[in-house]
Chain A
Amino acid sequence: MNRKLIFKTILCCLVLTLVSCSKNKPVVSILLYNESDTYIRSVRDNLLEEMPDTYDVNVYDCKNSQSEQTRLFLKALDKTDIFLINIYDRANAKDIILKIKETTNVPIVFFNREVSIYDMKLVDNAYYVGSDSINAGQIQAELYNEQFIKAYNNGIDFDTNKNGKIETIVLKGENQHQDAENRTQYSLERLEELGYSIDTQGIYTCDWSREKAFESAKKIMAEHPDVELVLANNDDMALGLIDYLRNELKLFDFSYAAYAPIKIIGFDGTAQGKTAIENGVLLGTVLNDSLTQAQLVVGLTKKLLEGETSITDVLEYKVVNERFLYSTSTMITKDTLN
Chain B
Amino acid sequence: MRKKLFINFFSVFVVFLLFLDFVVFGVLNNNVNESYNTQYDEVSKQIVTGYNNYLATVLDTSNTVVLLLRAKENSGEEQISNVFEFTSDVKSDIIGMSLYTEDYEVYSQSTLAHTLDLEDKEYLFDKTKVDSTMYVFSKLYTDKYTPRVCLSRQIVFYDNNSIKKTGIIVIEMNFEQVIDMAENLNLGDKGYLSIVDGDGERIYSNTSGMEDPNQQVIDDLVIGTTSIKSDGDLIYVKISSLEKTPWKIAIFANASGLEKTHNILLTYLIVATVLGLVVAFFIINKVSKQLTKPLLDLENHMLEIDQNYHLKIIENEYDIPEIKSLTKSFNEMIVRINELMEEVVEKSNSQRMSELKSLQNQINPHFLYNTLDSIIYLTESEENEKSIEMTVALARLFRISISRGKFIIPIKNEIDHAKSYLIIQSIRYQDAFTYEFDIEPSILEFQTMKLILQPLIENAIYHGLKSKIDEGRIIIRGFREGNLIIFEVTDNGYGITEEKIAELYKTFNNPDLNDGVGVKNVYQRLKLYFGNSADLQIISELDEGTTIRLQIPIKEELENE
Q: Identify the A interface with B (CB < 8 A).
A: 66-67, 70, 74, 89-92, 94-96, 98-99, 102, 116-118, 175-178, 180-182, 185, 200, 203, 205
Contacts and interface: CB of A to CB of B under 8 A. Distances in A.
Chain A contact residues, majority secondary structure: helix
29 contacts: A66-B241, A66-B243, A67-B45, A67-B241, A70-B223, A89-B241, A90-B134, A91-B243, A91-B244, A91-B246, A92-B241, A92-B246, A95-B222, A95-B223, A95-B241, A96-B223, A99-B222, A102-B220, A116-B130, A118-B127, A118-B130, A175-B244, A177-B133, A178-B134, A181-B133, A185-B132, A185-B156, A200-B70, A200-B71
Contact of A91 (B63, B70, B223, B245): B245
Contacts, number: 68
Contact of A74 (B63, B156, B223, B244): B223
Contacts of B243: 66, 89, 91-92
A325 B220 CA distance: 31
B63 A175 contact: yes
A211 B244 CA distance: 23
Contact of B224 (A74, A94, A180, A181): A74
Interface in B109-137: 127, 130-135
B131 A116 contact: yes
A95 B223 CA distance: 7
Contacts of B134: 90-91, 116, 176, 178
Contacts of B245: 91
Contacts of A67: 45, 48, 240-241
B266 interface: no
Interface in B225-277: 240-241, 243-246, 248
Contacts of B70: 200, 203
A97 B241 CA distance: 13
Contact of B135 (A98, A176, A180): A176
B265 to A, nearest CB: 27
Nearest to B244: A91
A182 B59 CA distance: 18
Nearest to B198: A94
B185 interface: no
Interface of B: 45, 48, 59, 63, 67, 70-71, 127, 130-135, 156, 198, 220, 222-224, 240-241, 243-246, 248
Contact of A70 (B130, B241, B244): B241
B462 to A, nearest CB: 79
A102 B241 contact: no
Contacts of B224: 70, 74, 99
**9 A-B pairs with the lowest CB-CB distances in the bound complex, closest first:** A181-B133, A92-B241, A99-B222, A98-B222, A178-B133, A95-B223, A74-B224, A95-B241, A91-B246
B130 A117 contact: yes
A102 B220 CA distance: 7
A223 to B, nearest CB: 14
Nearest to A98: B222
Contacts of A182: 133
Contacts of A180: 133
Contacts of A176: 59, 133-135, 244
Contacts of A89: 241, 243-244
Nearest to A179: B133
B159 to A, nearest CB: 16
A67 B243 CA distance: 9
Nearest to A202: B67
A84 B133 CA distance: 22
Contacts of A91: 134-135, 241, 243-246
Nearest to B246: A91
A205 B224 CA distance: 31
Nearest to B219: A102
Nearest to A204: B67
Contacts of B127: 118
A4 to B, nearest CB: 19
B248 A95 contact: yes
Contacts of B48: 67
Contacts of B131: 116, 178
Contact of A94 (B59, B63, B156, B246): B246
B544 to A, nearest CB: 77
A96 B156 CA distance: 32
B380 to A, nearest CB: 99
A99 B127 CA distance: 23
Nearest to A67: B240
Contacts of A98: 222
